[in-house]
Amino acid sequence: MDRKGLLASFLKLREKYGDVFTVYLGSRPVVMLCGVEAIREALVDQAEAFSGRGKIAIVEPVFQGYGVVFANGDRWKALRRFSLATMRDFGMGKRSVEERIQEEAQCLVEELRKSKGALLDTTFYFQSITANIICSIVFGKRFDYKDPEFLRILDLFYQSFALISSFSSQVFELFSGFLKHFPGIHRQVYKNLQEINDFISHSVEEHRETLDPNAPRDLIDTYLIRMDKEKSDPHTEFHQKNLIINSLSLFFAGTETTSTTLRYGFLLLLKYPHITEKIYKEIEQVIGPHRPPAFDDRVKMPYTDAVLHEIQRFADLIPIGVPHVVTKDTHFRGYFIPKDTEIYPILSSSLHDPRYFEKPDDFNPEHFLDANGALKKNEAFIPFSIGKRICLGEGIARTELFIFFTTILQNFSVASPMAPEDIDLTPREIGVGKVPPTYQIRFLPR
């Protein structure tokens, strides 16, 4: 493995061995799936067999198979059902998720106005707005952008995502059995995530003291009520440990991925001003300057929609996918895969497949437009993965991306201190996740 990391090594091996091959990571065999056909055949056509979740060595000591992202078997099924239903209920409760996103977008506009066109690093703003949506569902409240506790949590998320995606983390993945006994970034990640867990535990205690079983305010309340109902069942999955780790999973996944996509998106808009101009035109035609954008506007804005698809494809946020395991002995494309073997669905190989995207390494919204300028579906577009483990928050993420993007661009034009041709898109880290470079941007009121 070179400094480019595991992804580059896997893609090289694909050229030699095709779409399905085994690699030894340290001493354990892992099956790589490349290209949308192989990934779809496994995760959709043999969904049950491929629905197990593998481990990521650097976060394993924190998650330990608890919470919806890393759970397996009945625990995973129970937590997924609960999380989906609750996110729906609190999304569809007194205010829909969409209304919450619209309100948060307006809060951000107010905040960006205060900058008076000064140069900003968007990292923390984009984290705040995405975190606040998930906070309103999980904790029942949003945080002020200046709240020191909130800022601390966001910083821990940001640092952790960068560390988890770093070269050192990939080396740790290969030799964790040995390296875990020594100092290293794995200890920092553990410390960061435990600090976030303490914050969640504290919030759970506050919820417990003020709980009204007849009027749950958010996901934590709903969970506590369920916990109480099932407390005599020795096999229940509704216990404190799952509550904390499940909240961490939703909080982390719901904050870091969408905010990173927004950061990549605005960097791309600075680099390709002619694309930004076309979005402005579409916003003016469809939404106009005064009313807040709504998710329904999307169908009338194929160009903007295509740009958002292309940002997700290009950002390629979880390039090697989150690892799966097969839940039973499995036959796949003429291979025998023993139960519990790890599977890496290399999402990047699908998002950059030249058979589906004409110039896969270029940023080009035309990848998602037909000859008449209408949005066209592309089956290799799987940024949220596919199958039974598809991202829980896909619907929320799509709504956030559309509303946050259009609301910001309805109110501001964007400017960079650098000439577009000097803007570098090279990611800061490529590992489990892809971290865009840091950059400065101006938001100029329109």
Beta pairing partners, 332: 335
14 to each of 55, 81, 223, how far by Cα in Å?
23, 36, 44
CA 305 to chain centre: 18
**Token pair 């661009």: residue:** 409
Contact at 8 Å (CB) between 58 and 236? Answer: no
Q: Maximum Cα–Cα distance for the chain, whole Å? A: 65
Indicate the SS3 state at residue 430.
Answer: strand
103 to each of 106, 215, 309, 380, 409, how far by Cα in Å?
5, 23, 24, 33, 16
Indicate the SS3 state at residue 8.
Answer: helix
Is 34 part of any known ligand binding site? no
**Token pair 């964007």: residue:** 414
**Token pair 């400065």: residue:** 440
CA distance 169 to 174: 9
Burial 113-129 (b: 16+ CB within 10 A, else e): eebeeeebebbbbbbbb
Strands 342-346 and 324-325: antiparallel
If you count them, how many residues does the chain have?
Answer: 446
Contact at 8 Å (CB) between 360 and 369? Answer: no
**Token pair 């066209």: residue:** 376
Known binding-site positions for heme: 391
Known binding-site positions: 391
